[in-house]
Amino acid sequence: MIIVTGAAGFIGANLVNGLNARGIDNILAVDDLQQGDKFINLAHGKIADYQDKDEFRSRLTTSPTQSGLADVTAVFHQGACSDTTERDGRFMMNNNYRYTLELFEWCQAKRIPFIYASSAAVYGAGPVYTESLENEGPLNVYGYSKFLFDQVLRARMSSLTAQVVGLRYFNVYGPQEQHKGRMASVAFHNMQQFMAEGHVRLFEGWDGYENGGQKRDFIAVSDVVAVNLHFLDHPKVSGIFNCGTGLAQPFNDVAATVVNTLRESMGEKTLSQTELVRQGFLRYIPFPEDLKGRYQSYTQADITALRGSGFTAPMKDVQTGVAHYVRDWLAQS
């Protein structure tokens, strides 16, 4: 059996689908369904059982035969609060850090491979995004909750009993993120805005960047799943790895791809960014004062270590990945 925590969430649900595509459906899905609408993500995949997160955490302290967890072969720990604006540090540290630590200790005691979600938020403002302590400085308690567990792994690397891999996700987008609200991807919000208002809003220039010119490493969730499954296939590899494309692209690229793909579906022609702005399809709003100093204006994953682990599959750029996402979203609407 494979355990996927956060299985009703964005990346977790896509990971379940990725395992299903391999013919694997003996999956224990763990999540918190207080937000009941997330069930739809579980309904898209095949699982053997569902467990509430709090009940699952309590099962980790009982014997394997009593807990029903005697035949676990791997754990994908995707469950976390990913709200970068959450200020409740007690909640964040219990839900993200302590939960991860408990599951890590359980997997180590049982010698079970453990692949968990870290985050590019550990790097803070950057500008260097290489997996090394001197480059790390989280700007919020979410980033710190991920950063702190990464330090636990680093301290235990020489004494691990089974594989442990931390994946620092950059800006992930793709299907099954509809429940995330304001924490959904830029691409998702761009789609919603254009369909509702006929245009997309981006931030004006700030921090040395032109209007809509702030850059992020945007990665398709299908590529994130491929990275996770790569490490499942290579259980002797442990460590902390960036999970991005290695290519920073401006928010303008995401918005232009969204608008042009939606226009294409309406039989309209593709327009350049300049023309999209001139015709009012792309509009710029003042950069929020409360985000200044707490905003990543640029991220670009150094994927040297990831490639060195043997992951050789190509990554989708924004023009390819976002266009595919928009078409998939239209097909499901």
Q: Which sign, positive or negative, has the C-alpha torsion 243, 249, 250, 256?
A: negative
Which has the closest alpha carbon to 82: 38, 118, 29, 57?
A: 118
Q: How many whole angstroms separate alpha carbon 193 and alpha carbon 237?
A: 42
The CA-based angle 47-237-155, given to 5 degrees, is 105
**Rg of the chain taking only CA atoms, in angstroms:** 20
Q: Which of 97, 99, 116, 142 is catalytic?
A: 142
Q: How many whole angstroms separate alpha carbon 332 and alpha carbon 7?
A: 20
Location of structure tokens 């700030």: 206
Q: Which of 50, 180, 209, 295 is catalytic?
A: 180
Give the SS3 label for residue 53: helix
- Residue 142 among the catalytic residues: yes
Q: How many whole angstroms separate alpha carbon 308 and alpha carbon 264?
A: 39
Which has the closest alpha carbon to 276: 205, 214, 194?
A: 194
List the alpha helices (DSSP H) in the chain. 10-21, 39-43, 53-59, 64-67, 89-92, 99-110, 141-156, 186-197, 221-233, 251-265, 273-278, 304-308, 318-332
Q: Which sign, positive or negative, has the C-alpha torsion 269, 270, 275, 279?
A: positive
Asked whether the beta carbons of 258 and 202 are under 8 A apart, the reply is no
Compute the 3-state secondary structure of the chain and give helix, strand, coil in percent, each to the nearest 5: 45, 15, 40
Asked whether the beta carbons of 78 and 146 are under 8 A apart, the reply is no
Which pair of structure tokens corresponds to residue 237? 């590899």
Give the SS3 label for residue 50: strand
Q: Which residues are catalytic?
A: 142, 180
